Copies of this chain bind each other. A is one copy, B any other.
């Protein structure tokens, strides 16, 4: 039996819907425990206790402990792939899309700060084949950002740069908010962090033509560089 979520992880249990529900339940408990105590310090018994089931039950839904880690990490990456397209929905201006994507990425990272750190901590604890699945998923979510960049370049808003390399800088910028939160939280708020980041990246990338659009974009927004509230939402005005 195989779920559509993670085809590589097999389960003893036949009821597809139940598998989904149980795994989500285990992963929720596991992400919390792995994030706070780390993978190796967390026992299957811990996860079972937090999920309110017996330790043996988990082995009906995964092959081994590493499978639980794999599912946990995939769930974190999935939340990126969920939230960013959602934030972009309906937006067409390439520059705006790019700024909103960065903004959204930083905000998911902020919401799942511990889980983001977990991904950096624990991906290497996976076997090579399982790690490969993570890499694929990571590249997919990077493509959400890369597409925005390519669009801006095609429209002459950003200068010609190595898209993939700049994508990594953007992605890392978002991740850093989680990875170095112990220090960054003393230097800035999340909003301030995003604002200075977008300021920095636009400075580095905008063409003269892009600058004109950027200024227009800022005017159509409420405050300086706040990309949270959407223009079609006049309540926030």
Contacts and interface: CB of A to CB of B under 8 A. Distances in A.
**Chain A contact residues: over half helix, strand or loop, or mixed?**
helix
Given A172-B176, A204-B201, A196 B165 contact: yes
Interface string A84-124: 00000000000000000000000000000000010011101
A34 to B, nearest CB: 11
Interface string A179-220: 110111001100001001100110111000000000000000
Instruction: Report the copy number of this chain in the oligomer.
Output: 2
Given A124-B121, A164-B187, A169 B200 contact: yes
B196 A161 contact: yes
Interface in A148-163: 161-162
Nearest to A118: B124
A188 B165 CA distance: 8
Interface in A105-148: 117, 120-122, 124-125, 135, 139
B121 A117 contact: no
Nearest to A163: B187
A44 interface: no
Interface residues of A, number: 35
B169 A173 contact: yes
Contacts of A135: 182-183
Nearest to A176: B172
Interface of A: 38, 40, 117, 120-122, 124-125, 135, 139, 161-162, 164-166, 168-169, 172-173, 176, 179-180, 182-184, 187-188, 193, 196-197, 200-201, 203-205
Given A38-B124, A165-B184, A169-B197, 4 more contacts: A121-B121, A139-B183, A168-B176, A201-B204
20 contacts: A38-B125, A120-B179, A121-B121, A135-B182, A161-B196, A162-B187, A162-B196, A165-B184, A165-B187, A165-B193, A165-B196, A166-B200, A168-B183, A168-B184, A169-B173, A169-B176, A172-B172, A172-B179, A172-B180, A204-B204
List the 9 closest A-B pairs by CB distance, nearest first.
A204-B204, A40-B40, A203-B204, A172-B176, A164-B187, A200-B204, A120-B120, A172-B172, A165-B196
